[in-house]
Amino acid sequence: MRLVFAGTPEVAVPALDALIASDRHEVVAVVTRPDAPAGRGRKLVASPVAERAEEAGIEVLKPAKPRDEDFLARLREIAPDCCPVVAYGALLPKAALDIPAKGWVNLHFSLLPAWRGAAPVQHAVLAGDEVTGASTFQIETGLDSGPVFGVLTEEVRATDTSGDLLTRLAFAGSGLLVATMDGIEDGTLQAVPQPAEGVTLAPKIEVEDAKVDWAAPALRVDRVIRGCAPAPGAWTVFRGERLKLMSAVPAVDHAELGLAPGELAVTKKAVHVGTGSHPVELIWVQPQGKKPMKAADWARGVRIEGGERLGDSA
């Protein structure tokens, strides 16, 4: 099939690579979000998908909005058979959905109908799911509600951050997407409607959602830190300034410390924080305006005093 691939971030690149490598299909163009400012200089930078497509000599389309008539006209000229999508980042209007004969097919990183929305992997970690996966489905005008072509499952490991899990799903899912294109092309694959039961939503995780509540149990604190890594990044407040929490582990064997929620206990090699249950040990932190550092190095630098706490009261 002639394919137009739609995607934007790094997580979409493995699927683009897999489709380019396929000997049954041709990626004739790529649709991605417009160049965006990045870095300290805030210079405009092309998306990872745009960069990869340009390296491969593939036409790149960057509509400000996918309903723009110039974009729709070009898509009609290209006349793709199907448009596979991975994390494109914009809603597709019906005018665009109607152009390819076999529609638009999304690779979504959850077992639909669970975790429909922008942040399925983060919500799976936050919820403590033991198993998640990826699904390919036909895009409709509803939110991730179209019929499903195929799925794969992936274990959520106890130490997984959202970034760890998403990386594994991106590579495993690339094979699922190619297999879905193969099945659509040869007519052996039929999409199955999603069940009405089991629908959960996964909206974007905002910065305020990533604030750690030290009165919550250690298990919840651990999930928030892992689920918000690498973005937007879990955080708390220390001495009136924001402190980003890069990684931590529950410290079950240190329950005898008797720390109040948010209270700090520092040794030469470790930094423990009280929660609503047992303490957690901070591993990596990032003070405001500084680079990430080991929590023990941070604690030595700020000279934490007895009884000091993390949180709004700090």
pLDDT (tens digit, 9 = 90+) per residue, 221-270?
999 999 999 999 999 999 999 999 999 999 877 666 789 999 999 988 89
Residue pLDDT, tens place only, 123-168: 999 999 999 999 999 999 889 999 999 999 999 999 999 999 999 9
**CA Rg value for the chain:** 22
What pLDDT, on a 0 to 100 scale, did the predictor assign at position 314? 40
| Nearest C-alpha neighbor of 110 from the set 165, 62, 69 | 165
**Nearest to residue 238, comparing CAs of 205, 255, 216, 214?**
214
What is the rounded CA–CA span in Å between residue 141 and residue 111?
Answer: 19
CA distances from 111 to 131, 135, 156, 173 (A): 9, 6, 13, 12
DSSP-derived letter for residue 141 is: S
CA–CA separation, 237 and 314 (whole Å): 7
**E-strand stretches of the chain:** 2-7, 26-31, 36-38, 43-45, 59-61, 83-86, 104-108, 131-138, 148-155, 234-238, 241-250, 264-266, 271-273, 280-287, 293-294
- Report the predicted TM-score, pTM, of the whole model to 2 decimal places: 0.93
Consult the annotation and say whether 277 binds a ligand. no
The reply, when asked if residue 113 is annotated as ligand binding, is: yes
Q: What percent of the chain has pLDDT over 70?
A: 98
- Per the annotation, does 135 bind a ligand? no
DSSP 6-68: EE-SGGGHHHHHHHHH-SS-EEEEEE-PPPEEETTTTEEE--HHHHHHHHTT-EEE--SSTT-
Q: Summarize pLDDT for 100-126 with one digit per residue, the tens.
A: 999 999 999 999 999 999 999 999 999
**What integer pLDDT is reported at residue 307 of this predicted model?**
86
Would you say 112 is a known binding-site residue?
yes
Q: What is the pLDDT of residue 255?
A: 65
